[in-house]
Structure 1
Amino acid sequence: MLVSRETEERFAAFVELLARWRRATNLISESTFPHVWTRHIADSAQLLALSQGATRWLDMGSGAGFPGLIVAIQLADVAGAVVHCVDSDRRRCAFLREAARATRAPAVIHPVRIESLAPNDVGAVDCVTARAFAPLLKTLEFAKPWLETGAVGLFPRGRSAVKEPDREPAPPHYAIETIRSVIDAEAAILRVRKS
């Protein structure tokens, strides 16, 4: 994955903040921090290429900013770009606000549960994301207001993604495409569209 020098510097600033905040706010597990560049940054960054030019995003359950804040960092120099990061934990939201400020990422932080966020609170979006958030059907239920109005859903589902649509079929009005992760050959991303 090639990024500009400016984006690389923003990613580095994000990782530095994550290193300082992670213990106090339980952002990511200690065991994954040594692999933060591949397991979290690159894994999240690959979504931008799958979004077909999306500049307005909604990330459900943003946690430590994966993938929402990483996508926002990538869009920092794109006019009109915005990523709405939604998380109910106020400590994580404090981290997200500080990380967005430090990296000059176009992110708006919503410290609420996704089910209490009205579509009017964020407006139209091009892409909805969620990583390690909820089972597929629940994720689709929460994303429905935006998927129904034309947004594409990009849901990294890890190594279980390949079989997940078979185990938990989506409603018939959604088309689901399984895309192999470029970071982990055994993991996949589900791209969902209203059919």
Structure 2
Amino acid sequence: MKHPDDIAAKCAALDPRYGVDAAVAERIARFAAHLAKWQKAINLIGRSTEAKVWERHILDSLQLVPLISAESRVIVDLGSGAGFPGMILALFGRWEVHLVESDTRKAVFLRDSARACGVAVEVMARRIETVEAPKADVVTARALAPVAELLRLSAGIRRSGTICLFPKGRGVQAELTDAEKTWTLRFDTIPSITDPHGVILKIDEAREHGSGSTA
């Protein structure tokens, strides 16, 4: 993995719209170093991506920041895993962030990372279906499940006005076609800056057919 100084330098070179000031950059570098230490003990990220942690994981998470409105307060990240994107967003100290991760070892890593980086997050080591989280302003999930399943899993934490931000790869259109068999959606696809075939799927409205409710 890249040296923390390299991560901090890359943060400093970011466009201002990402909102990464010196304090946030320092926390991101500290988190990257913490991840590298834990990666030696448990497999948090794919071995093939260890040398590209900035591009494949950190920057991939940071690109969500400009898509989050100034009014947003609560973010719920589903299947947080190694902390992307949820922990990266928590490092800003700007939002109330809830990380849902059923794998006990990964949940311990996330709690230890929050302590090491000096940020407050709630880590829920439970299956998503059993989580009692506050209604979210923003729901995130990365490499977790197809769109239809993500909407089903997040139904209990969404409300009218909740947006979903789901990084997706080249199969996103097939996922949307499948999801629209069950859901009426209002969405945008924003090209990913880290994957030429990827997008950030931003869902502003999802109404399940026959439910009569919008969230």
Equivalent position amino acid for 2:35 in 1: L
1:162–1:188 Cα contact (<8 Å) kept: no
Query: SS in structure 1 opposite 2:47?
Result: coil
Task: Say whether residues 1:27 and 2:44 are aligned partners.
Answer: yes
Aligned residues of 2:77 and 2:85 also touching (Cα < 8 A): yes
Do structure 1's residue 139 and structure 2's residue 147 form an aligned pair?
A: no
Given that 1:86 and 1:109 are in contact with CA atoms closer than 8 Å, whether structure 2 keeps it comes out as yes
CA contact under 8 A between 2:135 and 2:159: conserved in structure 1? no
Task: Report matched runs for 1:60-71 at 5 Å.
Answer: 60-71=78-89
Counterpart of 1:193 (choices 196, 204, 210) is 204
Identity level (%): 38
Matches within 5 A, 1:50-65: 50-53=67-70, 54-65=72-83
Amino acid at match of 2:98: H
Q: Which whole-Å deviations, capped at 9, do the CAs of 1:45-96 have from their partners, x for residues lacking one?
A: 111111222231000000000100001112x1x3xx2110000011001110
Aligned length: 188
| TM-score computed with the length of structure 2 as normaliser | 0.81
Shift of 1:149: 3.7
Question: Paired residue for 1:17?
Answer: 34
d(CA) in 1 for partners of 2:181 and 2:139?
A: 16
Residue identity opposite 2:62 in structure 1: A
Out of 131, 136, 149, which is 1:117 matched to?
Answer: 131
8 Å contact from structure 1 (residues 56, 82) kept in 2: yes
- 1:81-100 superposed matches below 5 A: 81-100=95-114
1:94-150 per-residue CA deviation (whole Å, 9 max, x = no partner) reads 1100111111223110000100112xxx22221001000011111110111233342
Q: Give the letter aligned to residue 56 of structure 1.
A: V
Structure 2: how far apart are the matches of 1:25 and 1:170?
Answer: 39
More deviation, 181-190/171-180: 171-180
Q: Aligned match of 2:165 in 147, 154, 172?
A: 154
Structure 2 residue aligned with 1:179: 190
- 2:148–2:175 Cα contact (<8 Å) kept: no
Higher relative contact order (CA 8 A, sep 6+): 1
**Quick one: distance in 1 between partners of 2:181 and 2:115?**
37
Which consecutive aligned stretches of 4+ in structure 1 deviate over 6 angstroms post-superposition?
A: none
Unaligned runs of 5+ in 2: 1-13, 207-215
* TM superposition shift of 1:163: 4.5
Deviates more, 1:164-173 or 1:84-93: 164-173
2:194 corresponds to which letter in structure 1? Answer: I
Question: Mind listing any 5+ residue stretches in structure 1 that lack a counterpart?
Answer: none
What is the distance in 1 between the residues matched to 2:46 and 2:54? 14
Distance 1:163 1:178, change over 3 A: farther
Look up the SS of the partner of 2:122 in the other structure.
strand
**Helix, strand or coil for the counterpart of 2:48?**
coil
Cα deviations by residue, 1:20-60 (Å, 9 ceiling, x for unpaired): 10132210112101100111001001111112222310000
Q: 1:183 offset after TM fit, Å?
A: 2.2
**Aligned mates of 1:58, 1:141 — CA distance in 2:** 15
